[in-house]
Amino acid sequence: MKIIKSSSSGSLESNDLLVFVSPNSGVKIEIDSIVKLQFEKSIYETILKVLEEFEVKDVCIKIEDKGALDFAIFARVKTALLRAGEEK
Amino acid sequence: MKGLKRSFLFIPGNNPGMVQTADLFDADVIIFDLEDAVAQSEKDSARNLIIQAFTTYKYKNCETMVRINAVETEDFELDIEAVCRFELDYILLPKATVEDIIVLDKKLEMMNSSTEIFAIIESAIALETAFDIAKASKRVKGLLLGGEDLTADLGVVRTKEGLEIQYARNRVAVVCKALGILAIDTPYTDVVDEMFLVQDSEEGKRFGMMAKASISPRHIETIHSVYAPSSKEVIYAYRVLCAMKQAKKKGFGVFSLDGKMIDSPIVKRAERIYQLAKKMGLKVSGVEYDA
């Protein structure tokens, strides 16, 4: 999938996260989380899993996490990518 | 409690906090809502969240239902494709008509889905054709009365006393009894003032409703207590079933209890109350449950 525009998904409610996606050269991920110290690596891996599933090679992803679990991170990143992307 | 169908709790399909804890609210059936509780701009997000939740979690303590968007909306097909990607007990169809049920049934057939359907009766025409709606597919296992939309359609004011939905409650209950499916009462929609919750729940039960929908986890306990059989009912049901066993042993086709003839409807009702009490683990003096 090719990212052709900026988009976002999710919210800043507890247990949720806000995801911003925009076109980029290469993969850039920025994570801000209330549990960054404990779960940054895990959040990062979940994001990479979604990128792999949708074959996204060039994207900038910024997230503001409010304690979301993996399933919500996956779903919100997926939604933001689909809103910003164009199937190859 | 899984297996019982007293309470049907709506939770917003786009709220991760509620979706991930749905199993803990003690409702018998959780309704993940993709319709009214989700803004139009967030329908895609809610679908993805629910797909991911069901892929991740097994909701072991409750049965699961998704309220999809109405057949006439552009989200309908997308919702069906989404819910057919995971194991789901029931689909709840809003604004149901006979034609809509047929469309949904065909769609599920095409997707090789065995998911069953509950339909919301929330317009005057739906109420008057409720029997046909329920008969339009073998998948239809119950009707849920949507009191808010119905009264809006009728152009009458919805009150806490509920006089304006008496006929609707009665009609939905009668249709469901006639077809042997579940009649679910409209939710009590005031989450701040719960004074009328017990009265509203009892009113539905009095008219023949067998369960109640809810929009607040705080209402579940009250709904369960209203829809639980009383000790008196459980004792009588147990006595009917014991008397029936004795009669069978003696080879009697018909029997009586306390001087009254017991016929098939009374036995059926006794069986239902006994099984409900057993599943709920109700402890009633003098009543023993089968292993």
What was the pLDDT predicted at A88?
A: 62
Q: Which residues are bridge partners to B223 per DSSP?
A: none
Residues of B in contact with A82 (CB under 8 A): 44, 48
Task: Give the number of other CB atoms < 10 A from CB of residue B168.
Answer: 25
Place of tokens 């042993």: B249
Nearest to B16 among A72, A78, A83 (CB): A72
pTM of this structure:
0.89
Token look-up 């549990």 returns A35
Q: pLDDT tens across A12-35, in order?
A: 999 999 999 999 999 999 999 999
Burial class (CB in 10 A: 0-12, 13-18, 19+), A3: buried
Supply the pLDDT for residue B1.
64
Determine the average pLDDT of the residues in A46-69.
97
> Rounded to whole angstroms, how far apart are CA atoms B150 and B126?
9
Yes or no, beta carbons of A69 and B16 under 8 Å apart? yes
pLDDT value at position B251? 85
**A16 to chain B: closest CA residue:** B16
pLDDT at B290: 82
Tell me, yes or no, if A8 comes closer than 8 A to chain B by beta carbon: no
Query: What pLDDT does B3 receive?
Result: 67
Looking at residue A26, its amino acid is G
The residue range of the domain holding A15 is 2-86
Q: Predicted ipTM? A: 0.96
**Residue B76 distance to chain A (closest CA, Å):** 18
Q: What is the CATH number of domain B7-227?
A: 3.20.20.60
Mutate to test the interface with A, among B20, B23, B48 (most CBs of A within 10 A): B48
Q: In this predicted structure, what is the pLDDT of residue B291?
A: 74
Q: Chain B contact for A66, CB < 8 A? A: no
Give Cα B289 distance to the centre of its chain. Answer: 25
Contact assignment for B48 to A16 by CB distance below 8 Å: no
What percent of chain B is modeled with pLDDT above 70? 99
For chain B, the domains span: 7-227, 231-280
* Nearest-by-Cβ selection for A74 from B15, B17, B52: B52
Instruction: Judge: B52–A82 Cβ closer than 8 Å, yes or no.
Output: no
Q: How far apart are CA B262 and CA B213, in angstroms?
A: 33
Using CA coordinates, name the residue in chain A closest to B46.
Answer: A75
Domain count, chain A: 1
Contact A72 B20 (CB under 8 A): yes
Q: What is the pLDDT of residue B230?
A: 86
Eight-class DSSP state of B188: P
Q: How far apart are CA B72 and CA A83, in angstroms?
A: 23
In this structure, what CATH number is given to the domain that contains residue A25? 3.30.230.10
Residue of chain A whose Cα is closest to the Cα of B13: A72
* Average pLDDT of adjacent 10-residue blocks, chain B of 291 residues: 84 97 94 97 98 94 96 97 95 98 97 96 98 98 97 95 95 96 95 87 95 96 90 92 90 86 87 86 86 74
Q: Where are the alpha helices (DSSP H) in chain B?
A: 16-20, 43-56, 75-83, 98-110, 124-128, 130-135, 147-154, 166-179, 197-206, 220-227, 231-249, 264-280
A56–B contact, CB cutoff 8 A: no
